[in-house]
Structure 1
Amino acid sequence: MIDLKFLREDPEAVRASQRARGEDAGLVDTLLQADTERRSAVASADNLRAEHKALGRRIGKASPEDRAELLDGAAKLAQRVKDAEADESAANDRMQQAHRAISNIVHPDVPVGGEADFAVLETVGEPRSIENPKDHLELGESLGLLDMERGAKVSGARFYFLTGYGALLQLGLLQLAIQKAVAAGFTPMIPPVLVRPEIMSGTGFLGAHAAEVYHLADDDLYLVGTSEVPIAGYHSGEILDLSAGPRRYAGWSSCFRREAGSYGKDTRGIIRVHQFDKVEMFSYCRPDEATAEHNRLLGWEKDMLSAIEVPYRIIDVASGDLGSSAVRKFDCEAWIPTQQTYRELTSTSNCTTFQARRLGIRYRDENGKPQMAATLNGTLATTRWIVALLENHQQADGSVRVPAALVPFVGTELLTPNN
């Protein structure tokens, strides 16, 4: 949720952010009205409670002949207090609903527009010239790394088996990511992949993208699409000690996405699937440290991409393509030879205090006063990386070179059909 103090001081900035996202700027006025009504209801209820309390003291001191009349007045006042508290509760509910409807405030440097309006910040590496390149699915099947047919037989469309060296490639990628994260000071974590509604909602995933989330209705639990969700909830309702700097976690988990609305897109292979594994960085820090921390997360992503030796670019995602929690997001996109374009492998988002405000995550400032923390996240490796790895390192004879950083995990320098 956004800072109400900021909303009251500069509502036009919030309206501008909503417009930049392509969202309803009128929701800002709804929130301002709800805020006014809630404060009025709280003040009214507080005044009546104080009046009722004062009357109670008078009754205790009253003479017997005055007490009956005072008791009658107290009963009527008690009903007014009860009604006022009901109004206060309703106003709070309306306020919460209106507050949660507003997305985070877009950073002023973010390019305005939709999915195609990103800004390229950096391009790293030159794509190889590959004559008649094979796509990752053809390579994966010929090398015995990937079985989509049996994945569909067992679980349906967009499921798959990683087999043999394919499984070792994924495990190697994730293990390398965890090792790099630990070396950078992250605490490794294997979190739950089922979370309660308040945790899923608190991270902002039950808004515009709720259709992407799997829900187990009988248990009222949600399957996570990223370990960002359980790690964000890990410190919900807590006050953190951030005096020594950001607190960082690296979560290794399976992730689940319904891919609602993506039918017909990327149906071939493992670019867009319902289940995949991922190592996700997550950081809690002071708000004034968030921008620098965002750049650090991006730096660790770049280091991982360099380790698998693929050409990539970094884009500043446009305002209309941001998730509701993020003020700014950088994507790292790898070159895919068969598509002759760059495709997203990682992203890192600065969510400022938006998630922490929903989840009640605070820290103490230099005066010992609790303040809202900032949260950030970034992908360090995921199943989709295998797509870029296979296509960029394919050889003319149909084999695939294994990047040096992964050889210790995979156990071979070259994947061939004989493997």
Structure 2
Amino acid sequence: MIDLRLLREDPDRVRASQRARGEDVALVDALLSADERRRSSAVRFDELRNEQKTLGKLIPKATGDEKTELLKRTGELSAAVKAADAEQNEAAEEAQRLLLQLGNIVHEDVPVGGEEDFVVLETHGTIRDFGAEGFEPKDHLELGEALGAIDVERGAKVSGSRFYYLTGVGALLELALVNAAIAQATEAGFIPMLTPALVRPRAMEGTGFLGQAAENVYHLEKDDYYLVGTSEVPLAAYHMDEIIDADKLPLRYAGFSPCFRREAGTYGKDTRGIFRVHQFDKVEMFSYVNPEDADAEHLRLLEWEKQWLTALELPFQVIDVATGDLGSSASRKFDCEAWIPTQGKYRELTSASNCNSFQARRLSVRMRDGKKVQPLATLNGTLCAVPRTIVAILENHQLPDGSVRVPEMLRPYLGGREVLEPITK
């Protein structure tokens, strides 16, 4: 959540942020009104309580009519205090409810617009000219089936659409990617983590996934648990309700977990193969930093993602995501999009988000710097979303006979294999 002091001192900035996100600007004024009611009712409650305490000291000394009047006033005050307390609590709950609906303040450099209004910042690698090489590229599913690596037919039989099996060399390729990603992250100073896939409501709400993203979250109603869509959620909640000494920052974690997404609203999009699925594995980087270091850490996360995609020998571009496509928690987000030959366009593979203190305020994660205690900043960055990375590797590194060249960086994690060979021709 945002700092209420910012809302009070500069509401126009918050309104501008909401407008840029394409979200309800009236929410700002409703929140200001609720906050004012909360503050005024709190003052009223304190005044009545003080009067009540004063009368409580006078009553033992009073006699006769004076005591009768004091007792009468005490009874009136008791009812008034209860009413003021109820009003204060009601206003506080309303303010909190509205505050949780408000998105993070967007960074001033973020391009304004919707999903297609991103700005391309960098382009890396060379897109292969398959025509010049004399063959038409196959898509990842055709390649994966020939390699004995992907089985979506049985995935659908067992679990429904957008589920799949990785088999044989496909399973080995996932394990190779995960081990290579964890190795890179560990070398960069991240602490590897295996995180829970089920979390309580506060963890999911605290990271901002029960707002506009709630439709894509799986909820187990009987037990009131949520299936995470990213290990960002348990990593952000790892230090929930804790105070961390500033000299211990930054804290960096690399979480590996299964991820679950309903993919609501995407029916008909990317239905072939394993590009957009309901369950997948992912390695996620997560940083806790001093707020003044957040922008620099954001660029560091992006550099680690670029290092990873370069090592996989994939052509990719870096985009500055527009305001309407940020998600509620991020103030700024960079995506790395790999070239997918059979689609003829770049598609998102990794993402790095700066959430500033938005998640830390919701989860009560603070830092102590001397005598000062304040919310710290959190950032997250996808290093390897496995299925999409497999898609990009298969399509970009395919050979005319349907085999796939293994990027040199991955070979030690695949038993030295240089090429993945089809098991069917």
Pairwise same-fold verdict (TM > 0.5): yes
Give runs of aligned pairs for residues 40-79 of structure 1, distance below 5 A.
40-63=40-63, 66-79=66-79
Cross-structure match for 1:299 = 303
Deviation of 1:66 after TM superposition, in Å, equals: 4.9
Deviation of 1:61 after TM superposition, in Å, equals: 4.0
- d(CA) in 1 for partners of 2:376, 2:249: 12
* Corresponding letter in the other structure for 1:121: L
Cross-structure match for 2:105 = 105
Question: 1:297-325: per-residue Cα shift (whole Å, max 9, x none)?
Answer: 00111111112111011000001111001
Cross-structure match for 1:408 = 412
CA contact (8 A) 1:203 1:358 kept: yes
* Corresponding letter in the other structure for 1:368: K
Deviation of 1:70 after TM superposition, in Å, equals: 2.8
- Tell me if 1:379 matches 2:382: yes
Question: 1:271-311: per-residue Cα shift (whole Å, max 9, x none)?
Answer: 10000000101111111100000001001111111121110
- d(CA) in 2 for partners of 1:30, 1:418: 63
TM-score scaled by length of structure 1: 0.97
CA contact (8 A) 1:174 1:382 kept: no
CA contact (8 A) 2:124 2:316 kept: yes
Counterpart selection for 1:289 from 285, 288, 293: 293
Counterpart selection for 2:139 from 135, 141, 144: 135
CA contact (8 A) 2:125 2:314 kept: yes
Q: How many residues align?
A: 418
- d(CA) in 2 for partners of 1:188, 1:201: 24
Point out where structure 2 has 5 or more consecutive residues left out of the alignment.
none
Question: 1:13-49: per-residue Cα shift (whole Å, max 9, x none)?
Answer: 1111111111111111111111111110111111111
TM-score scaled by length of structure 2: 0.96
- Tell me if 1:418 matches 2:417: no
Partner SS, residue 246 of structure 2:
coil
- d(CA) in 2 for partners of 1:408, 1:67: 90
CA contact (8 A) 2:14 2:28 kept: yes
Give runs of aligned pairs for residues 14-413 of structure 1, distance below 5 A.
14-63=14-63, 66-130=66-130, 131-365=135-369, 367-383=370-386, 384-411=388-415, 412-413=417-418
CA contact (8 A) 1:361 1:372 kept: yes
* Corresponding letter in the other structure for 2:226: Y
* Corresponding letter in the other structure for 1:297: L
Farther-moved stretch of structure 1 (55-64 vs 295-304): 55-64
CA contact (8 A) 2:285 2:383 kept: yes
Deviation of 1:68 after TM superposition, in Å, equals: 4.8
- d(CA) in 2 for partners of 1:9, 1:67: 47
CA contact (8 A) 1:173 1:381 kept: yes
CA contact (8 A) 1:173 1:382 kept: no
1:146–1:39 CA distance, 2 compared to 1 (3 A): same
Partner SS, residue 111 of structure 2:
coil
Farther-moved stretch of structure 1 (401-410 vs 118-127): 401-410
* Corresponding letter in the other structure for 2:15: R
Deviation of 1:189 after TM superposition, in Å, equals: 0.8
- d(CA) in 1 for partners of 2:207, 2:146: 41
- d(CA) in 1 for partners of 2:188, 2:61: 68
* Corresponding letter in the other structure for 2:382: T
- d(CA) in 2 for partners of 1:59, 1:147: 83
Deviation of 1:245 after TM superposition, in Å, equals: 3.0
- d(CA) in 2 for partners of 1:53, 1:187: 54
Partner SS, residue 345 of structure 1:
strand
- d(CA) in 2 for partners of 1:356, 1:392: 39
Deviation of 1:65 after TM superposition, in Å, equals: 7.2
Deviation of 1:263 after TM superposition, in Å, equals: 0.4
Deviation of 1:180 after TM superposition, in Å, equals: 1.1
CA contact (8 A) 2:288 2:378 kept: yes
Deviation of 1:187 after TM superposition, in Å, equals: 1.1
Partner SS, residue 43 of structure 1:
helix
Cross-structure match for 1:6 = 6
Point out where structure 1 has 5 or more consecutive residues left out of the alignment.
none
Deviation of 1:3 after TM superposition, in Å, equals: 1.2
CA contact (8 A) 1:334 1:344 kept: yes
Partner SS, residue 141 of structure 1:
helix
Partner SS, residue 206 of structure 1:
coil
Partner SS, residue 346 of structure 1:
strand
* Corresponding letter in the other structure for 1:92: A
Partner SS, residue 263 of structure 1:
coil
Deviation of 1:402 after TM superposition, in Å, equals: 0.9
Question: 1:131-150: per-residue Cα shift (whole Å, max 9, x none)?
Answer: 30000000000000000000
- d(CA) in 1 for partners of 2:199, 2:375: 23
CA contact (8 A) 1:145 1:164 kept: yes
Question: 1:87-135: per-residue Cα shift (whole Å, max 9, x none)?
Answer: 0000001101121121111111011111111000000001111230000
- d(CA) in 2 for partners of 1:357, 1:256: 25
CA contact (8 A) 2:314 2:392 kept: yes
